[in-house]
Structure 1
Amino acid sequence: MANIIRQLQFYLTYPFVQYALIVGVLIAFCSSLLGVTLVLKRFSFIGDGLSHVAFGAMAVATLFKLTNNTLFIMPVTIAAAILLLRTGQNTKLKGDAAIAMLSVGALAIGYLVLNIFSTSANVSGDVCSTLFGSTSILTLTNDEVKLCISMSIVVVAFFCVFYNRIFTVTFDENFTKATGKYVAFYNLMIAIITAVIIVLAMNLVGSLLITALLIFPALSAMRIMYSFKGVVIYSAILSVMGALVGMLISILFSTPVGSTIVAIDILIFLMNCLMGKLMRR
Structure 2
Amino acid sequence: MLEKLMVYFEFSFVRYALIAAVLIALCSSLLGVTLVLKRFSFIGDGLSHVAFGAMAVATALKLTNNMLLIMPVTIIAAIILLIGGKNKKIKGDAAIAVISVGALAIGYLVMNLFSSSGNVSGDVCSTLFGSTSILTLTIKDVYLCVALSIAVIIIFCVFYNKIFAVTFDENFAKATGIKVGAYNFLIAVTIAVIIVLAMNLVGSLLISALIIFPALSAMRLFKSFKSVIIFSAVFSVVCTVVGLLASILAGTPVGSTIVASDIAGFIICLALSSVKRGVRV
- Verify same fold: TM over 0.5: yes
1:30 to 2:27 alignment: yes
**What is the match of residue 266 of structure 1?**
263
Please give the residue correspondences for 1:134-153 in structure 2 after superposition, counting only pairs within 5 Å: 134-153=131-150
- Give the partner amino acid of 2:117: S
More divergent stretch after superposition (127-136 vs 263-272): 127-136
- Give the partner amino acid of 2:170: E
User: How far apart, CA to CA, are the structure 2 residues paired with 1:88 and 1:175?
Assistant: 20
1:199 to 2:196 alignment: yes
Please give the residue correspondences for 1:209-220 in structure 2 after superposition, counting only pairs within 5 Å: 209-220=206-217
Please give the residue correspondences for 1:112-261 in structure 2 after superposition, counting only pairs within 5 Å: 112-261=109-258
- Give the partner amino acid of 2:214: P
User: How far apart, CA to CA, are the structure 2 residues paired with 1:239 and 1:81?
Assistant: 22
**What is the match of residue 94 of structure 2?**
97
1:139-196 CA distances to partner (integer Å, 9 max, x unpaired)?
A: 1111111110000011000100000001111111111111111011111111111110
Identity %: 69
User: How far apart, CA to CA, are the structure 2 residues paired with 1:50 and 1:132?
Assistant: 15
| Residue 84 of structure 1, aligned match among 73, 81, 104 | 81
User: How far apart, CA to CA, are the structure 1 residues paired with 2:124 and 2:39?
Assistant: 29
User: How far apart, CA to CA, are the structure 2 residues paired with 1:227 and 1:136?
Assistant: 36
| Residue 104 of structure 2, aligned match among 107, 110, 114 | 107
User: How far apart, CA to CA, are the structure 1 residues paired with 2:64 and 2:134?
Assistant: 16
Q: Secondary structure at the match of 2:42?
A: helix
Q: Secondary structure at the match of 2:204?
A: coil
Q: Secondary structure at the match of 1:244?
A: helix
User: How far apart, CA to CA, are the structure 1 residues paired with 2:159 and 2:71?
Assistant: 22
Stretches of structure 1 lacking an aligned partner (at least 5 in a row): none
**What is the number of residues matched between the two proteins?**
278
- Give the partner amino acid of 1:187: N
Stretches of structure 2 lacking an aligned partner (at least 5 in a row): none
**TM-score if structure 1 supplies the norm length?**
0.97
The alpha-carbon deviation at position 68 of structure 1 amounts to 2.4
User: How far apart, CA to CA, are the structure 2 residues paired with 1:13 and 1:67?
Assistant: 30
User: How far apart, CA to CA, are the structure 1 residues paired with 2:233 and 2:82?
Assistant: 26
Q: Secondary structure at the match of 1:209?
A: helix
Following superposition, which runs of at least 4 residues in structure 1 exceed 4 angstroms of deviation?
none
- Give the partner amino acid of 1:118: S
Q: Secondary structure at the match of 2:177?
A: coil
**TM-score if structure 2 supplies the norm length?**
0.97
